Every structure is written in C-alpha cells, then in structure tokens.
Amino acid sequence: MAKVTQLVHNYLRHSKRFPHVFCPGCGHGIVLGSLIRSIHSLGLAKDDVVLVAGIGCSGRIPVYVDFNTIHTTHGRALTFATGIKLANPRLKVIVIMGDGDALSIGGNHLIHAARRNIGVTALVLNNHIYGMTGGQSSCTTPMGSFSTTTPFGQLEEEFDISRVTKVCGASFVARTTVMQAKTMDSMISEAVLHPGFGLVEIISPCHTQYGRKNKFKSCVDMYKWLQKSSTPLEKFKEMSPEKQEKAIATGIFEKRDCEGLEEKYARMRRNLRGER
C-alpha cells in the first residue's frame, strides 16, 4: 500500500495547493489513482501525456497531476483533444469528462470523435448527476430517480454511454466501476494503447449530490450497491431481463483493429507529398 501511495506521489504536483476539491467518498479520486497507475505501468513519459478535461468535478482532476494538463470548456474537451492529436500524433491524449460533460452538452463531439476514430482516450466518469453544480439531472440520470431539477422523479430515458459510443463507431469501448480498481487500471491501459478512439465509462459514485437524494444512507451504502450491481458482461448476458434492469454490465463491449484518423491523415499527406 505504501508503495502505491509513493508511486502516486511521484506524479502529483506538489506546487499545487492541496487539499483537492473532491468530497469525502467521491469516486473521482479513485479514477485519478487508477489513471496514474496505468500510465506508470505503460512506462509513458510525463512529457508525452496530455490530460484534457471538461468542466465539472471530473474536470478538476488534471490540475493535480504533473502531465501537460488542460482544463477546457464544458462539453468541448474532445474538440481540443482532436486538435492536439492531429497537430502532434506522438502525444498520448487522454480526455476526462463527466457524464453531463460528455453526453449532455458534449454529445455532438462525442459521437463524432467516435465516428472519426481520432486516436484519443476518453474516460467518462459517470455519476448519473451534475455533481459540480449541485445535483441537477443529467442525460444519464436513471428514469424515476431524483435530482434538484427532477424533484418528482426523472421522466426521461437515460443514455447508455458505452452503447451510444459503440454504435457511433468507436473501436474500443469498455465499462467498469471504481469498485474494480485493478480492472479499471488494466482497462485504462488497454484503452490508451489502443489506436483509434477508445472510451472507458467508469461508474463513479457521487453521494453528495446523487446518493443523498436517492435513498443511499451513506457513501458506503453506495459503494456496496455498486459492488453488488456490477456484473461482468458474460454473466450479464445470461441474466433475465428483470435482473439486467438492476445490474450494471461491466467489461469490454468493443475492441477491433483500427487506424486512428491522425494516422490516416499522415499517410494521405505522405502520399501527396511523395514521401515514403
């Protein structure tokens, strides 16, 4: 344990004034730890990693780590990332977004990043709520559940982030939860190594804004629920539809060989310029 903590410290910005902004029990910090472990295990140089984030609690993650870090605008992180990757394909561009960020305001950019298969990695931290702004409903807030803007229950159907991304053409799509730290580490590593667009949806509880309004007595309750409901894909497929309703399928939904857009563009350019 001490070793892992030490490793994380090697990547933190000690010039940045801690403590961080996250509530006790927030899942977002667990994702940051996992991201650091993944990057470390891949042996990537800090200089080669660009963390791009949107706006939200999730968007506050990059400032704490010693990579090239960019905190962009709400919903648009993928557009910045696309520019960076095309401008310098050597860089490993990792985008951190909240559920609202990625699919409510940023839905247009997500579906097109997936379609183009631009070679960036998206981590979507799904807490089913707008954490930062105080618990308004998101496009992933489950039907029937409560938020400050659905005080009588959400009437709308929710988005399944992984499914949307997969049908839009992303070549790597996976889902995990912050309760499966080791799986999360390896999924993030796999996504970062994957050429083309890779997305990992991470269920990350927000007790402060979601749990309290939805009958979770404590943070711990939420984590217990998460552990109970997350189900590996193979097992999930064998469940009855009623049981599937209550479960969260985890695993890799899509993984296929793919050339990133930046590679295709570079090839076209070499051909036009008569280079090898």
Partner 1 sequence: MASKSRKNKFTEIFALGNEAVVEGALLAGCTFYAGYPITPSTEIAEEMANRLPHLRGGVFIQMEDEIAGLGAVIGASLAGRKAMTATSGPGFSLMQEHIGYACITEVPLVLVNVMRSGPSTGMPTNPAQGDVQQARWGTHGDHPIIVLSACDVQECLEMTVTAFNYAEKYRTPVILLLDEITAHTREKIRLPDPDELNIFSRLTPSMPPEWYMPYEDNMRGVASMPPLGSGYRYHVTGLIHDDHGYPTSNPREVEQIMHRLFRKIDQFFYDIQMVDEIMCEDAEVCVVAYGCVARSAALAVQQARERGIRAGLLKLKTLFPFPRPAVEKMLRQCSSILVPEMNMGQISREIKRVNNGQSKILTLNRVDGQIITPAQILGKIQKG
Question: Residue numbers of the site for partner 1 (CB under 8 A)?
Answer: 13, 15-17, 46-48, 50, 52, 62-63, 66-73, 76, 79-84, 86-88, 90-91, 108-109, 112, 265, 268-269, 272-273
CB 250 within 8 A of CB 233: yes
* Among the residue ranges 40-48, 85-93, 123-131, 162-170, the one whose residues contact Mg ion (CB under 5 A): 123-131
DSSP E strands in 128-171: the ranges are: none
Structure tokens at 95: 């985008």
Annotate 178-190 with b (16+ C-beta within 10 A) or e (fewer).
bbbeebbbbbbbb
CB 125 within 8 A of CB 98: yes
Binding residues for ligand SF4, rule CB under 6 A, total 12
Q: Which is nearer to Mg ion, 39 or 179 (CB)?
A: 179
In the complex, what is the shortest distance from the CB of residue 220 to partner 1, in angstroms, rounded to a whole number?
A: 31
In the complex, what is the shortest distance from the CB of residue 20 to ligand SF4, in angstroms, rounded to a whole number?
A: 9
CB 199 within 8 A of CB 172: yes
Amino acid at 206: C
55 binds ligand SF4 (CB under 6 A): no
In the complex, what is the shortest distance from the CB of residue 210 to ligand SF4, in angstroms, rounded to a whole number?
A: 7
User: What span, in angstroms and rounded, lies between the C-alpha atoms of 80 and 84?
Assistant: 6
| From candidates 23, 42, 63, 239, binder to ligand SF4 by CB under 6 A | 23
CB 99 within 8 A of CB 161: yes
Near ligand SF4 in 110-129, by CB under 6 A: 127
In the complex, what is the shortest distance from the CB of residue 120 to partner 1, in angstroms, rounded to a whole number?
A: 10
